[in-house]
Amino acid sequence: MQENFKSGFVAIVGRPNCGKSTLLNKLLKQDIALVSHKANATRKKMNIIISFKTNKNEESQIIFVDTPGLHHQEKLLNQFMLKEALKAISDCDLCVFMASIHDDLKYYEEFLDFSNKPHILILSKIDTASKEKVLQQIANYQKYDHKFLSLIPISSSKSINLESFLTEVSKHLPYSPPFFDLEILTDESLKQIYKEIIRESVFNNLSDEIPYESDVKIEKFIENKHLDQVFGKIFVEKESQKSMVIGKNARTIKRIGKQAREKMEKMSEKKVFLHLQVFVQKSWSKEKANLKKFGYDFED
């Protein structure tokens, strides 16, 4: 291993729906982080591992920590999500604050109120704004230039300035051997990734409150070389929600399953057998004991 190898943990934070997971999937060239047009889709932090070599042949392993969006809500699940994001900020070597080019500065100012972590500021979705709007927003943030290490406007969908972003991140990482095997993309288990793919499909195929009051458990997972078998349960809080998830003649649950299975197969590059069932567990997201059963562990 080269002596000038760098490695470190980089928490990527921002308000809900600013594009964190989309950016990480783009950098990874693989859809692992959950992406949805609905806010607060990401519930737990996930490590996304990027191996990067600068044009000066300096190598680094960047462990991006994808986090739930920063927000202030009273629901227990939202409190857990905020705790996850704040812990990621506290534990990381470097922080990246992502703001949509359309966001008000108040969200960045709120971030500055509770964190003095060294951070890079990125303005996302610049392809959706005029050049004048982009330049104006950059100028607006300049009054805080003593707070951030650098400001980089990016577009994930158009791959604008992504290499510059990685170069800047690498520049601020400590010299260290890699924490993980250089071939892996995440330290999450395949079972956990499959769970998130199912939950993403629920978000994509259902509207209103159902995605936020639902969760997924993988009850049985059989992994083989050419075929994975996944037996999952979708939990909702009301009988009426169960009927909507299943749909008339089971059309909705079939659509959820088909979309999830196809994404699983694309990611794993093998066949997947997916069996889904829907169950009601009242108030699962409103009680700490139930939240812990779904893996949202509150530290006392």
How is the chain split into domains, by residue range?
6-171, 190-293
- What pLDDT, on a 0 to 100 scale, did the predictor assign at position 88? 78
Encode pLDDT of 99-144 as tens digits. Answer: 999 999 999 998 998 888 889 999 999 999 999 999 999 999 999 9
Backbone φ and ψ for 11, nearest 5 degrees, come out as -80, 130
Domain 6-171 -> CATH class? alpha beta
Cα–Cα nearest to 96, from 14, 156, 23, 12: 12
Q: What's the chain's length in residues?
A: 300
Structure tokens at 300: 């006392």
Residue 169 near residue 162 (C-beta atoms within 8 A):
no
Rounded to whole angstroms, the Cα distance separating 105 from 100 reads: 10
pTM of the model: 0.78
Which pairing describes strands 46-53 and 59-66: parallel, antiparallel, or unpaired? antiparallel
- What pLDDT, on a 0 to 100 scale, did the predictor assign at position 89? 80
- What pLDDT, on a 0 to 100 scale, did the predictor assign at position 40? 46
Rounded to whole angstroms, the Cα distance separating 193 from 197 reads: 6
Rounded to whole angstroms, the Cα distance separating 237 from 215 reads: 10
Rounded to whole angstroms, the Cα distance separating 227 from 270 reads: 6
- What pLDDT, on a 0 to 100 scale, did the predictor assign at position 71? 57
- Enumerate residue ranges in the chain where pLDDT < 50: 1, 34-40
Read out DSSP for 270-292?
SEEEEEEEEEE-TTTTTSHHHHH
Query: Considering Cα of 187, then 191, then 193, then 199, what sign does the dihedral take?
Result: negative
Please state the CATH superfamily assignment of the domain spanning residues 190-293 in this structure.
K homology (KH) domain (3.30.300.20)
- What pLDDT, on a 0 to 100 scale, did the predictor assign at position 226? 93
Residue 122's SS3 state is strand
Rounded to whole angstroms, the Cα distance separating 79 from 71 reads: 9
In sequence order, what are the beta bridge partners of 13? Answer: 97
Rounded to whole angstroms, the Cα distance separating 80 from 284 reads: 14
